[in-house]
Structure 1
Amino acid sequence: MRWRRSDSNLRRRHSPIFPSSYPSQPSLHVPSVVHEPDHTRFVLTENDDFAELRYRLDGSVVTIIHTFVPGVWRGRGFAAQLVKSALTWAAAEDFRIIAECDYADGFIRRHPSYAHLLATRSDSIRETDLS
């Protein structure tokens, strides 16, 4: 038997069916970033889960050490949100950035508008000499 577009079986096989028993989409709620300077981190929390960006502050140089996003949150832009928050804070405080974290380094490379925040070797030496 030859299938034609008008065949009801063909249409039935290719028609999406969304019964009301399907689970709803996951919540699109985006938790807001909180800066915890006493713990040298930026954090997103919701229920028992959290994502964080850890940094070290040496004078006017901020070293982004680590970014962590739990598996259930990955792919939703939370790491980018953390890095943007840290970079915005650093710019407001007139700090320079060293990105030891691979994700933060890649983010800055993909967004050259943040490149002016990168610390130069002289920034790092100057802060070390002052300590």
Structure 2
Amino acid sequence: MMDLVEAQPVVENVAGSRFEMAFPGGMAFANFRRDGDRLIVTHTEVPPAFNGRGLGSLLALGIFENARATGRRIVPACSFVAAWARRHPEFADVLAR
């Protein structure tokens, strides 16, 4: 299993409307649309060779932490992000109502 400590922090690529997380060997990302203070996360992707290593969860965590820190809310239109949010009720305050 890859050492996840080597994954870089999740950053918001404003121009690309996505969150990105670089790691040795690739990049995971999540596309989103803005709607006021809401971020509608529509798609997440981890390179297939790295599936099952927790990178998607690290990406989701970074997205939710970023939204909380910037006063925005998440609309999990992506099934992966929706499932992650269900498993992490400590971030319920970040979900759009």
Q: TM-score range by the shorter chain?
A: 0.7 to 0.9
Residue correspondence of structure 1 range 84-103 to structure 2 within 5 A: 84-103=61-80
Q: Which residue identity lines up with residue 83 of structure 2 in the other structure?
A: G
Q: Could you report, residue by residue, the CA deviation over 1:19-46 in whole angstroms, capped at 9, with x for unpaired residues?
A: xxxxxxx652532133212211111234
Quick check: 2:2–2:53 contact (8 Å CA) kept in 1? Answer: no
Unaligned runs of 5+ in 1: 1-25, 121-131
RMSD: 1.8
TM-score of the two chains, using structure 1 as the length reference: 0.65
Q: Which residue identity lines up with residue 83 of structure 1 in the other structure?
A: A
Does residue 28 (structure 1) correspond to residue 3 (structure 2)? The answer is yes
Tell me how far apart the structure 1 counterparts of residues 78 and 30 of structure 2 sit (CA, whole Å). 9
Q: Which residue identity lines up with residue 33 of structure 2 in the other structure?
A: R
**% identity of equivalent residues:** 29
Indicate the structure whose relative CO is greater, using CA pairs within 8 Å and at least 6 residues apart. 2
Tell me how far apart the structure 2 counterparts of residues 103 and 118 of structure 1 sit (CA, whole Å). 14
3-state SS of paired residue (1:98): strand
Runs (4 or more) in structure 1 with deviation over 4 Å come to none
The structure with the largest strand share of the pair is 2
The structure with the largest alpha-carbon Rg is 1
Q: Could you report, residue by residue, the CA deviation over 1:5-29 in whole angstroms, capped at 9, with x for unpaired residues?
A: xxxxxxxxxxxxxxxxxxxxx6525
Tell me how far apart the structure 2 counterparts of residues 47 and 118 of structure 1 sit (CA, whole Å). 31
TM-score of the two chains, using structure 2 as the length reference: 0.85
Q: Tell me by how many angstroms 1:49 deviates.
A: 2.8
Q: Tell me by how many angstroms 1:47 deviates.
A: 6.2
Tell me how far apart the structure 1 counterparts of residues 21 and 75 of structure 2 sit (CA, whole Å). 22
3-state SS of paired residue (2:32): strand
Q: Which residue identity lines up with residue 67 of structure 1 in the other structure?
A: T
Tell me how far apart the structure 1 counterparts of residues 63 and 95 of structure 2 sit (CA, whole Å). 13
Q: What is the aligned residue count?
A: 95
Residue correspondence of structure 1 range 1-131 to structure 2 within 5 A: 27-28=2-3, 30-32=6-8, 33-46=10-23, 49-120=26-97
